[in-house]
Amino acid sequence: MGDNHWSDDEFIDRLYGLGPEGSHLEECPQCRRRWGEFRLRRSQILEAPAVSEEFLVAQRHAVYRKIEEGVGRWWNWSLIPGFAGAAVMILLAVLVSGPKPATLPEISADVQLADVYSAVQQMEPAAVEPIQGLFEVNP
């Protein structure tokens, strides 16, 4: 450091016990003055603000008054189970009264048996039919 003055970072490091050691502060009046300014500013920042006892008492009374009046208390947490139950009941009512699925027409046993018999008698599956169209020979 020799003839150079300390930077702000070096002063801040020194303020927190991490900065450079040495005799520069004793030898340099400009850095010694700046060091005093840094220490003074830090002590001002760490100083607790002055608050009167009357202010604190008035603030405490205002808080208690708001608690007693319930000001700003538009929500009551004990109502949540009731709202949840009502929501479940509405959901169930909507699901139960929703549209009914279309009913399929009755098919006689003879028609069902004929459909099954025709499906069993086919040699090739239905998925092969479109592929056979690719190989038709045109006369």
pLDDT of residue 88: 95
Is residue 124 classed as helix, strand or coil in its secondary structure?
A: coil
User: Percentage of residues in the chain with pLDDT exceeding 90?
Assistant: 22
The overall average pLDDT reported for the chain is 83
pTM here is 0.36
How far apart are alpha carbons 133 and 131 in whole angstroms? Answer: 5
pLDDT > 70: percent of the chain: 90
Quick: pLDDT tens for 99-139.
777 787 888 888 888 888 887 777 777 777 778 778 776 66
pLDDT for residue 71: 54
